[in-house]
Amino acid sequence: MVTATALLGLVVVVLVAFAALGAWYARGRIETIEDYITARDSTGGGALTATIVASSMGAWILFSPAEAGAAFGGITAVAGYAAGSALALAAFALLGPRIRDLLPEGHSLTEYAYARYGPAMYAYVLLVSVAYMFVFLAAEFTGIASALSLIAGVPGWQTAAVVGVTVLAYTGYGGLRASIVTDTVQTVLILPLLIVSVVVTLLALGGTNAAHAAIVDAEPSLLAVGSPSGLEFGAYVVVAIVGAEMLNQAWWQRVYAASDEGTLRRSFLVAAVAVVPMVFLAGIFGPVAVGLGLVDAPADASVSFFLVVTDVLPDPAVLAVAVLAVLLVVSSADTLFNAIASVVTVDLPRVADLSDDRLTAAARAVTVLVAAAATVVGAQGYSVLTLFLLADLLAAATFVPLLYGLYSPRAWSGGVLAASAAGLVVGLAFFPPARGVLPLSVLPAASYFVSFLGAAAVSTGLAVVTARLGDRRYDLDRLGRDVRRLDEGDAMADGSGGGEGR
Amino acid sequence: MTLSALGFAILVWGSLALVGAIFLYELLAVWRDRKKSRA
């Protein structure tokens, strides 16, 4: 049995090593706010691919795909999870160059929303984006606290505090550059650790044939290819993930951090390929846990991965899995700390006249606040699933109208806001948790499938239709003129935002 | 259609091999980045 002290000691050693690496690398490299939140044109293919993989693959891959595999449609549902994760990254291989072309000196999606659509859409996108990123962060902290508690009984507050403080130490100091360099090393460790964890577990189970036989004996439907429940889950999870990730500032930062457009495209595509087997390998632990008879209650499904690991692996291998989980959390947490800080910081020049030094200090202060909040929430052990789904739904109703403005000069603020609102109304009407609080019993049965696909379809349709109304034309070249570097004298230009498009 | 034992094995070992290949690609790409930045 791994003791809590031994495990926490190991985690502290790993985290301190990364804090030292991040701080050492960032030393002397953070001269302006641009270095802290954008690291513009600085990142080559290896580091960019690594930071995308590491940021995308949080501790959630040890929980959600396995839960999907155990409780929401078996191997087909896991495939849906993998497809959603990959499609979101692949989409940035297409969107990224467009974003860089139209806003070559940009920083964030909210900055784009303000310049393209004006303050109302900006406020809405800011709310949805920050809500999603913070819930993601809180879920990561909750997940690692739960994982170390399961493995060795480490109290949740201790795990959350150790992770929060050490990640804050290097991210607060070194910003995006520290995040990217630590992500690179973390990816180089995460990939082999995942391979070792899966191989050792399979060997302990007696090989893939034995694992397969156990699943067939217990619940053969989990191995059904194209099962209706799995397809339904897969479809809505693809929309949920793609929508939410389009509003994840971490990717917008990395679009600008890429050394050039070719590197950007290649790195997002390679990362998209990489996450498919990673999610799949983590996901098969769900059906395996059912096959081993470890999932007694519905709540057990979400910790299937750790139930299998603690059941079949020897202590040294369990420690390796714990390190894997910590690396997954840290690599996402540093990304999200800096992403949330950057969204807030980029918008500050519009409301206050701050020097470059003060902007950097403000970004660091926001990072501290975000880290403190995530640590406190993560230590509570709340179930954040409903919040996560709600944030995903908001994003599903928003991402197409928002991004449509990158391509259509006819998209306008009132139209895209109405489209997003209508999509959200439809999504909420069929959102299962909403049925408990809204009087909607006259409608057909609620389902996540109808909710997410309805939100995305209605918002997309209305964004296109409203763009055809009237004769508005927005000059897309204005985006490049309105959005400027933050370390120039008149950063953010005059803050006038989009004119004709509104 | 239920996934056969062979299909399951191919999926699992194929995924492991792909993760391994991505790992090697990453090592090579990071090494190239460093070589380029030193040049």
Nearest to A271 by CA among A20, A492, A50: A50
Residue A95 has pLDDT above 90, yes or no: yes
Q: Which has more pLDDT, A389 or B15? A: B15
Q: What is the mean pLDDT of residues A345-356?
A: 82
Angstrom distances, CA of residue A92 to CA of A47, A221, A245, A258, A280: 17, 35, 9, 12, 21
CA distance A315 to A201: 12
CA distance A59 to A389: 17
| pLDDT band for position A492 (cuts 50, 70, 90) | very low
State which residue of chain A sits closest to B36, comparing Cα positions.
Answer: A44
| pLDDT band for position A377 (cuts 50, 70, 90) | confident
Place of tokens 């155990």: A70
Chain centroid to Cα A151, Å, comes to 25
Percent of chain A whose predicted confidence (pLDDT) is above 70: 97
Q: Cβ of B36 under 8 Å from any chain A Cβ?
A: yes
Candidate from B15, B18, B29 with C-beta closest to A45 = B29
pLDDT at A502: 43
| pLDDT band for position A106 (cuts 50, 70, 90) | very high
Residue A244 has pLDDT above 90, yes or no: yes
pLDDT at A30: 87
Residue A149 has pLDDT above 50, yes or no: yes
3 state SS of A442 = coil
Q: What is the mean pLDDT of residues B2-26?
A: 96
Give A44→chain B minimum CA distance, Å: 6
Angstrom distances, CA of residue A51 to CA of A148, A330, B18: 24, 12, 18
CA distance A97 to A74: 37
Give the angle A180-A110-A121 at the CA atoms, nearest 5°.
Answer: 160
Contact A50 B30 (CB under 8 A): yes
CA distance A107 to A249: 9
Residue A88 has pLDDT above 80, yes or no: yes
Which pLDDT tens digit goes with each residue over A196-241? 999 999 999 999 999 999 999 999 999 999 899 999 999 999 999 9
Contact A191 B5 (CB under 8 A): no
Nearest to A174 by CA among A443, A41, A363: A363
Q: Cβ of A206 under 8 Å from any chain B Cβ?
A: no
| pLDDT band for position A496 (cuts 50, 70, 90) | very low
Phi then psi dihedrals of residue A74, to 5 deg: 60, -145
Query: How would you class A9 by CB atoms within 10 Å of its CB: exposed for 0-12, middle for 13-18, buried for 19 or more?
Result: exposed
Contact A281 B15 (CB under 8 A): yes
Q: Cβ of B9 under 8 Å from any chain A Cβ?
A: yes
Residue A494 has pLDDT above 90, yes or no: no
Q: What is the mean pLDDT of residues A407-414?
A: 96
Contact B25 A270 (CB under 8 A): yes
Average pLDDT, chain A: 91
Q: Give which of A191, A199, A219, A268 to mutate to test B binding, by max B Cβ within 10 Å.
A: A191
Residue A69 has pLDDT above 80, yes or no: yes
| Tokens, residue A369 | 């606040």
Contact B36 A198 (CB under 8 A): no
Residue A476 has pLDDT above 90, yes or no: yes
Residue A286 has pLDDT above 60, yes or no: yes
pLDDT at A489: 55
Residue B8: list chain A partners with CB under 8 A.
Answer: 208, 211-212, 223
CB A396 within 8 A of CB A369: no
| pLDDT band for position A499 (cuts 50, 70, 90) | very low
Q: Cβ of B39 under 8 Å from any chain A Cβ?
A: no
Q: Which fold has domain A4-19+35-382?
A: Sodium/glucose cotransporter (1.20.1730)
Helices H / strands E in chain B, number of each: 1, 0
CA distance A140 to A332: 8
